[in-house]
Amino acid sequence: MKVTIYEYPKCGTCRKAKKWLEEQGHEVEAIDLVKNTPSKETVQSIVASSEFPLKRFFNTSGNKYKELNLKEKLPTMTEEEQYDLLVSDGMLMKRPLVTDGKKVTLGFKESDFEENWKNA
């Protein structure tokens, strides 16, 4: 099965997730979140096909998130503003983000990957 992984190539967790997927026999399309930040439409589509709220797609442990004080600002922003902000800088996105167009996982937790991507 083909899956798309939105990653930051220097991120160890992203590399681990990609390796895990490849070991399970998945054809992996890797997209660098920083060099090729997905479009607003793409992110909206991914969010819609997931079970996660939009705020879960933000990398809350990242420096950029902290610099912009988004913990305080996000709750007062409209959904439209949140999408615009999220696609303005790939470093704001939670990673790795993996999707096959139907399912979505955020981050790399082996149990989540087992549940969603094992023998898929």
In CATH, what number is assigned to the domain containing residue 94? 3.40.30.10
What's the total number of domains in the chain? 1
- Predicted TM-score (pTM) of the model is 0.93
Q: Within 10 Å of residue 23's Cβ, how many Cβ atoms? A: 8
Task: Indicate the SS3 state at residue 88.
Answer: coil
Q: Which domain holds residue 101?
A: 2-117
Answer for the pair 37, 64: CB distance below 8 angstroms, yes or no: no
What are the pLDDT tens digits along the chain (120 aa)? 899 999 999 999 999 999 999 999 999 999 999 999 999 999 999 999 999 999 999 999 999 999 999 999 999 999 999 999 999 999 999 999 999 999 999 999 999 999 999 876
Angle 59-86-105 from CA coordinates, rounded to 5° = 55
